[in-house]
């Protein structure tokens, strides 16, 4: 499944403006787990059943509640699920804040979803004008709580503008990303 979300200001015609930048995210989600996750009598013993992938511009603090309305939820099943999200923007100066929220209810509206477990990521400078970059996140299990700090993905780990995989970095010896013009 591939889904798209826009950050910042976009050109009127995405395919024809040439000024936009695209970050392709692949998120490998874990299967549904069992365990005591919720105090709501209707959900006791049930693990979170839905994952909400929420990319936002970097001016959205992780401690704020982000409504889960930008992309539809992903229902977790007995096998791993791979989600693909294209993030498009005209503002290449943005970092991306990414929450992956695990909820019991389809709209994160169940009582215990108020403190649902999450993964947080900051993707540093993933956008380069006229280029497509990518990053893959693998989540091995549903967390039990919200993190204190996000995982920071440095810009040199963001794939792009090369064929093949360089040895450990997408930055040049002088520290510039290979997508920098």
**Of residues 167, 85, 82, the one with CA closest to residue 133:** 85
Residue identified by tokens 């993190």 is 147
Check residue 55 and give its pLDDT. Answer: 93
Query: pLDDT per residue over 59-85, tens digit each?
Result: 889 988 887 677 889 999 889 999 999
User: Under a CB-based contact definition with an 8 Å cutoff, are residues 129 and 21 in contact?
Assistant: yes
Q: How far apart are the first and last CA of the chain?
A: 32
Residue 11: is its pLDDT beyond 60?
no
Average pLDDT over residues 140-154: 92
The mean pLDDT value of the chain amounts to 84
Query: pLDDT per residue over 89-136, tens digit each?
Result: 999 999 999 999 998 888 888 887 888 889 999 999 999 999 999 999
Stretch among 9-18, 20-29, 157-166, 170-179 having the lowest mean pLDDT = 9-18
Residue 12: is its pLDDT beyond 60?
no
Q: From the CB of residue 130, how many other CB atoms can be counted at a distance below 10 Å? A: 13
Planar angle of CA 101, 107, 112, nearest 5 degrees: 65
pLDDT band per the 50, 70, 90 thresholds, residue 151:
very high
Q: Rounded to two decimals, what is the model's pTM?
A: 0.85
Tokens describing residue 115: 């403190």
How far is CA 90 from each of CA 31, 49, 152, 155, rounded to the nearest angstrom?
A: 35, 34, 22, 18
Check residue 6 and give its pLDDT. Answer: 63
């Amino acid at each position: 499944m591939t889904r798209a979300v826009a950050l910042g200001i976009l050109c009127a015609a995405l395919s024809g403006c040439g000024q936009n930048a695209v970050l392709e995210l692949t998120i490998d989600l874990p299967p549904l787990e069992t365990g005591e996750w919720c105090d709501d009598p209707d959900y006791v013993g049930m693990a979170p059943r839905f994952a909400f992938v929420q990319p936002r511009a970097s001016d959205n603090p992780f401690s704020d509640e982000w409504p889960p309305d930008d992309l539809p939820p992903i229902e977790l099943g007995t096998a791993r699920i791979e989600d693909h999200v294209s993030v498009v923007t005209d503002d290449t100066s943005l970092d991306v804040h990414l929450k992956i929220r695990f909820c019991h209810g389809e709209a994160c509206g169940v009582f215990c979803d108020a403190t649902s477990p999450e993964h947080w990521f900051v993707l540093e400078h993933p956008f380069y004008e006229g280029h497509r970059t990518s990053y893959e996140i693998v989540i091995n299990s549903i967390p039990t709580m919200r993190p204190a700090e996000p995982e920071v993905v440095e810009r040199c780990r963001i794939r792009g503008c090369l064929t093949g995989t360089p040895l450990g970095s997408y930055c040049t010896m002088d520290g510039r990303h290979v997508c920098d013009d």
